[in-house]
Amino acid sequence: MAARLPHVPHASGTVRLVGATLVDGTGCPPLADSEVELVDGVISYAGPRRAGLEVERTIDLTGAFLMPGFVDAHVHLSMVPADPETQRSRFVEEHVLETAAVLRTTLLAGVTTARDLDGLTPGYRDAIARGSAVGPRLHLAISMLSPTGGHADPVRPNGSLPAWAVRPGMPTPGVVDTDDDVIRTVRELMRMGADAIKVSTSGGVGSPTDDPADAGLPLEHVALVARLVAERGGRPITAHALTDAAVRVAVLGGAASIEHGYDLSDETIELMLQHGTVLVPTLSTLMRTLDPTTTSPAALADRQARQRRGLDSVRRAVAAGVPVALGTDAGVHTHGRNLTELAWLVEVGLDPLAAIQAGTLGGATLLGLEEHIGSIEAGKQADLVVTNVDPVHALGELADSAAIRMVIQAGRVVKDLDGRVQRVP
């Protein structure tokens, strides 16, 4: 399903990038001494270096590796690095500027497109499009949907709100219990400009009143969401789903992708294959280390058990051929370390080129943007990253954003070869 390409400011003129080893995002073997030509922010040629050409500008990338800009299909960019009570005490403008800094950090780490799955309003997407902010191209879910007391409901048993739930500028939670609730909320999200609809078919970690094993939206409500989006031009549905039963509800209801999926049975993996459902495993968040001084022994043991089940679940899905897209749950995971996920994808069975493909063309395809981004091919937007790290043999080193020497978005250099930020408002 084709989707609207989020606009970002484009470069003008012609530029040749020569000499790099090209890893184009399609899974093809690397191409040494390559050439990529950009015309007005669009790739016009990608292949072996050509001789005897003169253009306005040539950048010599000999010794470096050139890849597509990465797509993080699961982020929460409004989750800024400050404690909840501090956030609650701030003015709206302070939070907006903190979020703008997170957007910039994410782009400079090599993520040129991101799907925010709860927390950002379209104003951020529009500001990036106008050039008044710097950040990834954004696809937005705005809010996620769950029943009262479910993963999207921030209200505590006594009716109060935790500090993290009252961050300035947050969209309204998508709490739905009836068909009418679902219809109204989904239509409001589409009216507001949602690019995707996120449903919670299980409970979540950290929710005030539910547990990961709890049921979320039922099958009939997921199917109703699918019917509603089909009536308005179509939008991908993605499901927060931590249990096997929750994944089955999401797949049968029409979800295009599963977020997390840490308890998959072989039967459900087969069901995902039959429906072409994409897995976004967010392993960077699953495998993050908890502080043993502030976490109880019981919680640490539960966490370790979930990690073991989760890795086994994703390994079996990868081995079976379930398509995978890179997603980090950044916000829970550290912003700016999005490419940590690449090494985890290798850990669960993808080879390095397949992991890069999951983080580029795989994510673009999930968002419906594969005609425009995700690989270095003629006719696509010039979203590119340059590194001195050999991604085939040292993929884990890309987790450090300093390893990304250069970032180009729509032909504009936003981070130059010396690591300096360019064209920042």
pTM here is 0.96
Q: What is the pLDDT of residue 397?
A: 98
- φ, ψ for residue 3 (rounded to 5)? -130, 165
> Does the structure show a pLDDT above 80 at 163?
no
> pLDDT tens digit string along 228-243?
999 998 999 999 999 9
Sequence-ordered alpha helix ranges (H) in 118-171: 122-130
Q: Which residues, listed in sequence order, are joined to residue 36 by a DSSP beta bridge?
A: 17, 46
> Does the structure show a pLDDT above 50 at 425?
no
The CATH architecture one would assign to domain 70-366 is: Alpha-Beta Barrel (3.20)
Q: What is the pLDDT of residue 89?
A: 83
Q: Taking Cα atoms as reference points, which of 398, 423, 393 lies closest to residue 409?
A: 423
pLDDT band at 85 (very low <50, low <70, confident <90, very high): confident
- Quote the CA–CA distance of 155 and 276 in Å, as a whole number: 35
Q: What is the pLDDT of residue 264?
A: 98
Domain 14-68+377-415 part of CATH 3.30.300.130: no
Cα angle 330-333-338, degrees, rounded to a multiple of 5: 60
> pLDDT tens digit string along 184-222?
999 999 999 999 999 999 999 878 888 999 999 999 999
Q: Identify the weakest region by mean pLDDT among 63-77, 80-94, 117-131, 328-342.
A: 80-94
> pLDDT tens digit string along 320-379?
999 999 999 999 999 999 999 999 999 999 999 999 999 999 999 999 999 999 999 999
Q: What is the pLDDT of residue 375?
A: 98
Domain boundaries, the chain: 14-68+377-415, 70-366
> Does the structure show a pLDDT above 80 at 164?
no
- Quote the CA–CA distance of 86 and 43 in Å, as a whole number: 44
Between residues 82 and 150, the one the model is more confident about:
150
> pLDDT tens digit string along 380-417?
999 999 999 999 999 999 999 999 999 999 999 999 98
Residue 170 has a CB neighbour count (10 Å cut-off) of: 18
